[in-house]
Amino acid sequence: MARADFYRLKESHGDDRYRLLQQLLSKSVSAGQRVHIHCRDGAEAAHLDDYIWAFKPESFLPHHQLGQDHKMQSPITLGHKDLWPEQAEICINFSAAPVDGFARIIEIVVQQPDILQQTRDHYRHYQQQGLEMHVHKL
């Protein structure tokens, strides 16, 4: 059964959302899982691409943006709009719309009104789709 995990941060300062993303990516890649990060737009995908490269240079996480190099293969893909990977077990969703078609969907909830409302809407959507729901309070 597919599942949706909501990681709820108590506070939101700067790049808290991205720091948690980095931890989730490290854990998933270490476990041999393929992860897709679905972004709001191309600017966010480019920002996350740079962020992942620079976060911990000593612990490289292979990744690439979809639509830029079709021959590249890596365990982490970044996309937006209609740019989806051919396969991935996990989708970390930063986009405004809920996603479907993954064994596990991760949403990172921060205490910003627009993101709170967006993730509440996503929660209802996933619940209605029959996904196994999990909330992690951090």
pLDDT at site 73: 83
- Min mean pLDDT across 47-51, 65-69, 83-87 is at 65-69
Q: Which CATH class is domain 3-137?
A: alpha beta
pTM above 0.85, yes or no: yes
Our separate counts of H helices and E strands in the chain read 3, 7
Query: Look-up: residue for tokens 């078609």?
Result: 101
Q: Where are the domains of the chain?
A: 3-137
Highest mean pLDDT among 8-12, 14-18, 69-73, 104-108: 104-108
User: 51-72 pLDDT, tens per residue?
Assistant: 898 876 677 888 999 987 666 7
Cβ contacts of 134 within 8 Å, gap of 6 or more: 3, 4, 5, 6
Per-residue pLDDT, 1: 87
Calculate the CA 16 to chain-centre distance. Answer: 14
Mean pLDDT for 125-134 is 98
